A and B are shown apart, each in its own frame.
Chain A
Amino acid sequence: MLKIISKAQCYCIIIFLGVCVLPAQAKEAASMAADPALEKQVMEISEELRCLVCQNQTIAESDAGLAVDLKNQVRNMVSQGKSQDEIVDYMVERYGDFVRYRPPVKPVTYLLWAGPFILLFVGALVLFLTLKGRKQQVKDTPLSDEEQERLQAILAKKMGANSDGGEEVKS
């Protein structure tokens, strides 16, 4: 997890831009905290949008020039009363689904969104089959080590008289 932020590596241009052009946006920056509710909404939306010029950061986190511009754009649209969906659509129209950290649900991503539930289902199925098959297998092998162990366990339990509850002495 060594960190080298991309900023300086590939798009130094844009960072430079951030420094130079910011004065033009200073007015907006000052008004940022004027309306905390609006600002909160701006941050929430920004946190789902990818900063394209960074390696892997949201526009909320990044100080890159384009990220600042896009954040301002989000702020403008929020103050115009646009909904989150409208703002995200606006960004996707221009930069593609790549800007969305929450991928859209569409045929290509069905597997992504259904995946965890498929995995859970498969997991449950495997679990069920294993436990069932296991019971069968264990029953089929008489006098195995396991049986013996169980015997030992019972014996041991008798020895440690008051061992009910959470613990149990094996063998």
Chain B
Amino acid sequence: MKLKYLIPLIVFVVMSVFLFVGLYMNPKIVRPVNIDKAAPAFELQNLHQMTEKVSNSSLLGKVWMLNVWASWCVACRQEHPYLVELARAGDIPLYGLNYKDAPSDGRRWLEQHGNPYLMSFVDYQGNVGIDYGVYGVPETFIIDKKGVIRHKVIGPLSGREIRTCVRPVVKYLEQNELVNNTVPSEVTKECSK
């Protein structure tokens, strides 16, 4: 009998637990849905060789990174030095997706800030961006030998993130066969921080 008067209290307590937990989550971060799915195929112009069209299928067989960038993107400037540094080390193939940018602007920007990319694809219309679920620039994908997206970083990369997340994930993919068709969580544990 008494219990029925406690129902409102119980409802409230349950609700506040969720509210409390919710405080420490970021509602704006959208978990990517295309992880462990085949990277959508595309064939795009090479930014520095506009007459040439390159397909991503030509990259099968190696672990590579696709970095979405644009000359109008302010945050890209922030991550750019780290990408240049990464490129200098030379052990991870880095490709760019020049997203919704005038090719001439893109080329000028790379001249100015350095070009870390083995090649940049021209996605002038942004259609490939949509296929990859890009919703902000910059974003970075790690794609394995079989052409499957294995990891995605939203927003500018930091030096720490490259060291503790990107590099280990790439190295793991290069050296190991995946067991459960996903990168083990101990490899990516630093990524969400």
- Which residues of A are interface residues toward B (Cβ below 8 A)? 10-14, 16-17, 20-21, 24, 52-53, 55, 65-66, 69-70, 73, 92-96, 98
B114 interface residue, CB < 8 Å from A? no
- Given that A73-B130, A94-B34, A95-B33 are known contacts, is A52 also in contact with B135, CB under 8 Å in the complex? yes
Distance of B11 from chain A, by nearest CB (Å): 12
Check B74 against A12 for contact (C-beta < 8 Å). yes
Q: Is the Cβ of A95 less than 8 Å from the Cβ of B74?
A: no
- What chain A residues lie within 8 Å of B135 (beta carbons)? 52-53, 66, 95
Residues of B117-136 whose CB lies within 8 A of A: 124-127, 129-133, 135-136
Do B132 and A94 touch across chains, with their CB atoms under 8 A apart?
A: yes
Assembled-state Cα–Cα distance A69/B30 (Å): 19
Chain A nearest CB: distance from B68 CB in Å? 11
- Contact partner, A10, options B28, B125, B132, Cβ 8 Å: B28
Query: A65 with B136: in contact, given A94-B131, A95-B33, A96-B31 (CB under 8 Å)?
Result: no
Interchain CB contact under 8 A, B30 and A95: yes
The 5 lowest CB-CB distance pairs between A and B, nearest first, are A96-B33, A52-B135, A94-B133, A13-B73, A98-B30
Query: Are B72 and A20 interface neighbours, CB within 8 A?
Result: yes
Contact call A52/B30, Cβ cutoff below 8 A = yes
Q: Decide: A13 near B136, CB < 8 A? Known: A20-B72, A52-B30, A96-B31.
A: yes
CA distance A95 to B130 in the complex (A): 9
B100 beta carbon closer than 8 Å to chain A? yes
In the assembled complex, the Cα of A52 lies from the Cα of B127 at a distance in Å of 16
Residues of B within 8 A of A (CB): 28, 30-34, 70, 72-75, 100, 124-127, 129-133, 135-137
- A69 lies within 8 A of B130 (CB): yes
Which A residues are CB-close (under 8 A) to B72?
13, 16-17, 20
B34 / chain A contacts, CB cutoff of 8 Å: 93-94
A12 CA / B30 CA spacing, docked (Å): 18
If A17-B100, A93-B34 are given as contacts, then 9 extra A-B residue pairs at C-beta distance below 8 Å, sorted by A number, are: A16-B72, A24-B125, A52-B135, A55-B28, A69-B126, A70-B130, A95-B133, A95-B135, A96-B30
CB distance from A49 to the nearest CB of B (A): 12
Q: What's the Cα separation between A92 and B133 when bound, in Å?
A: 9
Report the Cα distance A142→B70, complex, angstroms. Answer: 83
Bound: A14/B126 CA distance, A: 12
Closest A residue to B76 by CB, please name it.
Answer: A13
Residue ID in chain A nearest B100 by CB atoms: A21
Residues of B within 8 A of A95 (CB): 30, 33, 133, 135
CB distance from A47 to the nearest CB of B (A): 19
B126 near A11 with CB under 8 A, answer no
Across-interface contacts of B136 in A (CB, < 8 A): 11, 13-14, 53
Q: Which residue of chain B has its CB nearest to the CB of A90?
A: B130
Q: 9 A–B contact pairs at CB < 8 A? A: A12-B74, A14-B137, A17-B100, A24-B124, A73-B130, A95-B30, A96-B30, A96-B32, A96-B133
A94 touching B73 in the complex, CB below 8 Å, given contacts A11-B136, A21-B100? no
